[in-house]
Structure 1
Amino acid sequence: MSLLERFSLDGSVALVTGAGKGIGQAIALAYAEAGASVVCAARTLADVEAVAEQIRRQGGQAIALSCDVNDAAQREAAVAAAVAAFGKLTHLVNNAGGGGPNSPLKLSWQEFDRSMHFNVTSAYHLIQLCAPHMREAGQGNVINITSGAARYIQRNFSRYAAAKAALTHLGKMLAQDFAPVIRINAIAPGPIMTDALAGVMTDEIRQIMENNTPLGCLGEVEDIAAAALYLASPASRWVTGKVIEVDGGAETSVFPT
C-alpha cells in the first residue's frame, strides 16, 4: 500500500453527527472524498440533506438523517438507519455538542447537567451502539471532537470546559476498553472560523485572536477535517487514545476576555 493509499476510506461507512454545518460538514465531505459512504446526521434535516446531496453530486454515497443526539431513541435510530442503508458501520464522529461561557453563580445545576449530557453522555451512548457493528465489520474508528477549552484555564467557561475535558478523558479510557479492534481518538480544535463564530466576530475581536495565536490566523473547518481523515484512515493505524490539538499553536485561550 502506497503512502497516499493509506489515507483512503474506500469501503467504509461513517456516521457523522452535527454534519449539517461547520466542522461536521467538512468532515462528512472529506470522508466522502476519501471513499467512505457517509451518514450525515443533525437536528436540522434540511442542512444535512444539502450536505448529502453535495456528496452524491460529487459521485459519493450519502444519506441524511434528522437526529438530536440529546435523545436516546434518535441516537438508536440513527445507528440502525446507517446499518440498514449501507450494511455495516465502521466509523463514528461525535461532533455534535457545544456550549458557551457561563457565570458559575447563575448557571443552574440542571443546565450544567444538560451540557454534560449533550457533550459526553450522548457520545458514550453512540459509541456503545456502534461498537458491536464495528466489531462485526472487523474494524472500527471513533473520533470525538473535543476542544482546546478542555485544557485552558480561564474564567466563565466551567460548563463547556468541564464537558469537553470529560469527553477527552472518556475517549482515552474507552480506547483501552475497545482495543485492538476499535480505535478511539479525539481532535481538540482551537478557534475555527465557523458560521457560529462569524456571527459574533468583529474586526477588533479577530485581531486580538489572531495576535494571540502563534501561527497568526484563525483555523478553518478543513483543518479539522484533514486531522479527522488522518485519524480515521489506515495512516493512523497505530494511534489510539490520543488527542490531536489543531489550534494554531495556542497554549492558552485566544478569546478576548
Structure 2
Amino acid sequence: MNYLPSFRLEGRKALVTGAGRGIGRAIAVGYAEAGADVALVARTREQLEETAALVRAAGREALVIPADIRDADAVSAAVKTASEWAGRVDILVNNAGMNIRTPALEVTEDEWETIMQTNLKSAFLFSQTAGRHMKEQGGGRIVSIASVAGHVALRTGVVYGATKAALMHMTRILALEWGKYGINVNALGPWYFKTSLTEKLLADPDFVGDIVARTPLRRIGELPELVGPAVFLASDAAAYVTGQTLMVDGGMTIYGF
C-alpha cells in the first residue's frame, strides 16, 4: 500500500480566476510546476498573457480567457471555453476578489453590490458551472480563496468580511451536496501576503508592526507558502479532505490577547 499519495497534478486541467496577478498568478504557475495545464480568467488580457508566459515557461499549456467574472453569461462562456480547450475541468480555483475599505456607517449600496458580486457571486457562478462539468466527468476539485476575515472580525471592512464568511460556509454546503459526485470542495484562508494588492499597506511600518504582532510566526506570508496548500487541496494527497477551510495565516486565527 502506498502511504504517500501524490502531490503532483500531472494531466490535470485547471481553471483559475483572478489569474492576472497576485495570488491567482502564483497559484496558476504553481499548478503548472506541479504538472497541470491552466486556463486563466480575469478582466485584463495583458496581465493574463504575462501569467500565461510563466505557465508555459514551466512547461505546461495555458489558455487566456478575458471575462467579466460577475456576469453569468461570461462565466458560462469561460467555463465552456476552458472545457473545450482542455477536454475537461479537473480543478477550479475561485481566487478573484476585491475590497473597498469603508467604515460600516459609510458603506454605499454600490460598494456593497460590487464587493458581493466580485467576491461571492462570481465564486458561486463558477462553482455551479464547473460543478456541472465535474459531475458529468465523475469528479473534480474546487478551491476557493477565502480569508481570515471570514473567521475573525477585522478592520478590513464589513462587506469584505461578510463575503469571505459566506464563501467559507458555501464551501461546506457545496461539499455536502457534491461529495456524492466525487467533487471535493475546500477553501484557503490567507492572512497578509506580499502581493501587488497589499504593497501599499505593507509599505507602512506601523501597519506591518500591527500585523506581525498578531501573528505567532511573527512575519508576513510569502506567496509560495500559499501555493503549497493550494496544490495540496487540488492533489490526490487531499482526496479525503472536503468542506474545509485551511487557514494559511502564520497562526493568526489561534492568537488570543
TM bin, normalised by shorter chain, reads: over 0.9
Give 1:76's aligned residue: 76
Matched, 1:54 2:54: yes
| CA displacement 1:56-76 (0-9 Å, x = unmatched) | 122111111112211222211
Aligned-residue CA RMSD (Å): 1.9
TM-score normalised to structure 2 length:
0.93
Give the Cα–Cα distance (whole angstroms) in 2 for the partners of residues 3 and 252 of structure 1. Answer: 30
Give 1:191's aligned residue: 192
Maintained 8 Å contact 1:23/1:222: no
What are the ranges of 5 or more consecutive residues in structure 1 without an aligned counterpart? none
Give 2:63's aligned residue: 63
What are the ranges of 5 or more consecutive residues in structure 2 without an aligned counterpart? none
Residue type of the partner of 1:136?
A: E
Residue type of the partner of 2:97?
A: G
**Aligned counterparts, 1:157-236, within 5 A:** 157-180=157-180, 181-200=182-201, 201-236=203-238
Give the Cα–Cα distance (whole angstroms) in 2 for the partners of residues 177 and 217 of structure 1. Answer: 38
Name the SS of the counterpart of 2:89 in structure 1: coil
TM-score normalised to structure 1 length:
0.93
Maintained 8 Å contact 1:7/1:229: yes
Residue type of the partner of 2:246?
A: I
Give the Cα–Cα distance (whole angstroms) in 2 for the partners of residues 88 and 202 of structure 1. Answer: 44
Q: Which is further off, 49-58 or 223-232?
A: 49-58
Name the SS of the counterpart of 1:187 in structure 2: strand
Note closer, same or farther for the CA distance 1:155–1:86 as it changes in structure 2 (3 Å cut): closer
**Aligned counterparts, 1:69-148, within 5 A:** 69-148=69-148
Give the Cα–Cα distance (whole angstroms) in 2 for the partners of residues 58 and 171 of structure 1. Answer: 30
Maintained 8 Å contact 2:149/2:156: no
Name the SS of the counterpart of 1:197 in structure 2: coil
Give the Cα–Cα distance (whole angstroms) in 1 for the partners of residues 63 and 100 of structure 2. Answer: 30
Note closer, same or farther for the CA distance 1:177–1:230 as it changes in structure 2 (3 Å cut): same
Give 2:253's aligned residue: 251
Maintained 8 Å contact 1:26/1:221: yes
| Offset of residue 185 of structure 1 | 0.2
Note closer, same or farther for the CA distance 1:213–1:51 as it changes in structure 2 (3 Å cut): same
Give the Cα–Cα distance (whole angstroms) in 2 for the partners of residues 155 and 106 of structure 1. Answer: 14
Give the Cα–Cα distance (whole angstroms) in 2 for the partners of residues 152 and 113 of structure 1. Answer: 22
Give the Cα–Cα distance (whole angstroms) in 1 for the partners of residues 48 and 147 of structure 2. Answer: 23
Residue type of the partner of 2:240?
A: W
Length, aligned pairs only: 254
